[in-house]
Chain A
Amino acid sequence: MRKVMRVVNRAQCIGCYSCMYACSRTYFHIATTKLAALRVKNYAGVEGAFSIRICIGCTHPDCAAACPTEALTIREGGGVIFHEEKCIHCYKCVEACTLNAMQWDPIAREPLACHQCGICAEYCPNDVLALVEVEDDREAHND
């Protein structure tokens, strides 16, 4: 068994961004939503409709496969580990993720790879996100 992130109750999202603030705060010590390894998207004019794009910790991650320099390697338990020194800033990892979960830091021009740590879920006031135990990728799929 391994623990990875899932969007378990998408429709309970209130769009407060506490998850993104928590991620940026934890890994960058910065009060912002923009350095988070996940994104809460809101749709134009559709009041209150949010879509949460978060890394689900694939065992065969498309992002890592697309990386030409092995800057993203497969993490034990699912997902990827980012090796900054190998990154050539090509953006291919972001494009490869159909979920649009891989976020990008436009200033460092690097991917923001999820650590599968669950800090975002901890700060979600409405149980939208959870770190869940799964055996294979298709389990407990995004809501």
Chain B
Amino acid sequence: MINRILKIDLTKKKAEVYSDEKLYEDFLGGTGVATKLLYDHHIENIDPLSPESPIILSIGPLNGIYPIATKTIAMFKSPLTGNLGESHAGGRLFMSMYDANLSAIIITGKLDMPSYIAIENEELRFVPANSIWGQSASATERILRSAEKGIGKRSIIRIGPAGENLSLMANVAVDTGRHFGRLGLGAVMGSKNLKAIVISGNYRHKMENFAEFNKIYNEIFWTAVKSPAMKKYHNLGTPQNVLPLNKINSLPTRNFSQGFFEGAEFLSGENLAKNYLAQQIACANCPVGCIHLGTLREAFEDSTHFKTFKIPYDYEPIYAMGTNLSINDPNALFKLLNTVEKVGWDVMETGVTLSWATEAFEKGLIGTNQTDGLILNFGDAETYQKVLAYMKENKNEFFNDLNKGSAYCAEKYGGKEFAINFGKNGSPGYITGRDAFLGFLMGVRHSHLDSAGYSIDEKIISGDLNADPAEEIDMLINEEEWRFILNSLTICLFARKIYTEDLVLRALKSVGINKTSEDLKNTAQKIHALKYKIKIDNGFDLNSLNFPEKLFNVQTGRGKMNKAIVQEMIKTYTNRIKSLVETLAQ
């Protein structure tokens, strides 16, 4: 396996590669290794937008080797939350890092002028790029793909104007339609004058045990190609969830006021596939092809000429800019998504912030003085377009504040009870019940992908599982810890049913890593504890955790939540975390 870390100092324009065998022995790769590297940077003493603030990109021992091990982990200090920042992206980045024989990249410092970095194996060039500063995330890719030839398949990651303007919800776009979406990595890159990274390599990794490798490759590949679950990811993609969630009252609508959206039919995976889908594409080395590109066809102004855009769409963007803002027209939704994509915001935080703003406007906490005359209404896509345009140019103090996310805005203007964020991170799109919310609250990155509590809720709704607070907490923690292993390797979670523990152990063995089931369990717990140690050191207060108050009054998929039980569960969960973190001291 690769164990080579490229350390880049942007201030000195210097880079070096080093190895750390023990780090990979102890933490596998991916999120495990990145967590330890972030911990060692002592980010509690660092401003997330200062030169010292680190960006860590990390892949694992199965990336580049086995199918659907397609993710790269980014870790950083989140400017949005001031705490642990972690985001995962697919695309080709893992492949280009593997080809460049690099398992991790650590970037610190600040460039003296807007620039991009070209990495070819361990060779680095710092290229001044005043001409692309200000370009959209999409244009930047087009320009760099012709400017940089590379020495193999190139991956291009870049920020748009949002990152340059230090919007705390800026994302980093990765190749086509993939992103380090969450927690504001784009602003960290922007603060370093770093517009983009282009990476390619031409190392060749011979498989020591070819027969075993080939056997396992085929097992994964053909299971993925033939499995009905994976077919669904290809056919409808994640928007397959729109109608089932709507049916069980779990699809966030108008800032989490209800779980039923009357326009769900229009935004359903079925309708989008039938009437808007241009094509599916895939991450490298993944035969599934879950990335859905929808078509947005628009006339030129005052003309019969037409232009056609391809807009990547997924369930979460549909919830964030669609159902939760009460937008039911796919064209209007795609237009909003197109703007968000070009400017380079995290679509989920953007949607949550706009839905908070709309409710705050309704309730009179903000008025036309703040909005420069705009009247915010759920369902009014045209006005939301204007809001995005004003946010892009930071038109006034209020629009500048919107760029800081829903938690900041609610703190300043009020309406905390209906600013639907967890750990200051805008909520994912599920009102299934308490386990979804508990997962968002207690998960290390406040993501639906941490522990997938919605899936536990769904099983309880369908009657496949009985509600039991203690058991539900166990399930959340066990799921999150197993995912630390998958995210260390670094597997796309869509393939989690293929990458069983047995397969993971065999796949690791085939690349020379001998682990037992017990080893993985211990490693997962260590990663969990270390992540929480980082969170606590950075001010995450385990003693004052709660859900946004509004959620207690809403009908979730499982009905209204019992506040007393939920608070008891938070307490139990918190105690589990506290004793987990104490194990680190031993």
Contact = CB atoms under 8 A, between A and B. Distances in A.
B335 interface: no
Interface in B182-208: 202, 204-207
A34 B202 contact: yes
Interface string B63-102: 0110100000000000000000000000000010001000
Chain B contact patch, size range: 35 or more
A18 B285 contact: yes
B230 to A, nearest CB: 10
Nearest to A40: B153
Contacts of B214: 25
Contacts of B153: 17, 33-34
Interface stretch (B109-117, B264-272, B273-281, B471-479): B273-281
A31 interface: yes
Given A30-B207, A32-B99, A34-B99, A48 B287 contact: no
B282 A31 contact: no
Contact of B281 (A15, A31, A125): A15
B65 A107 contact: no
Given A47-B177, A123-B221, A31 B141 contact: no
A16 B282 contact: yes
Given A31-B64, A123-B221, A45 B138 contact: yes
A139 B139 CA distance: 40
B284 A16 contact: yes
Contact of A18 (B64, B67, B145, B280): B67
A103 B463 CA distance: 56
Contacts of B379: none
Contact of B282 (A14, A32, A44): A14
A28 B225 CA distance: 24
A30 B281 contact: no
Nearest to A124: B287
Contacts of B221: 18, 123
Interface string B287-323: 1110001000000000000000010100000000000
A28 B214 CA distance: 12
Given A31-B64, A47-B310, A25 B217 contact: yes
Q: Majority SS of interface residues in chain A?
A: loop
A17 B205 contact: no
Contacts of B95: 33
Interface string A6-49: 00000100111110010001001111111100000000110110
B586 interface: no
Interface in B121-167: 138-139, 141-142, 145-146, 151-153
A76 B207 CA distance: 32
Interface of B: 64-65, 67, 95, 99, 138-139, 141-142, 145-146, 151-153, 176-177, 202, 204-207, 210, 213-214, 217, 221, 225, 278-289, 293, 310, 312
30 contacts: A14-B280, A14-B289, A15-B282, A15-B284, A16-B282, A16-B285, A17-B285, A18-B285, A18-B287, A21-B285, A25-B214, A30-B204, A30-B207, A31-B64, A31-B65, A33-B284, A34-B202, A34-B204, A35-B204, A44-B142, A47-B293, A47-B312, A48-B278, A48-B293, A106-B151, A106-B202, A107-B204, A123-B221, A123-B287, A125-B225
Interface of A: 11, 14-18, 21, 25, 28-35, 44-45, 47-48, 106-107, 123, 125-126
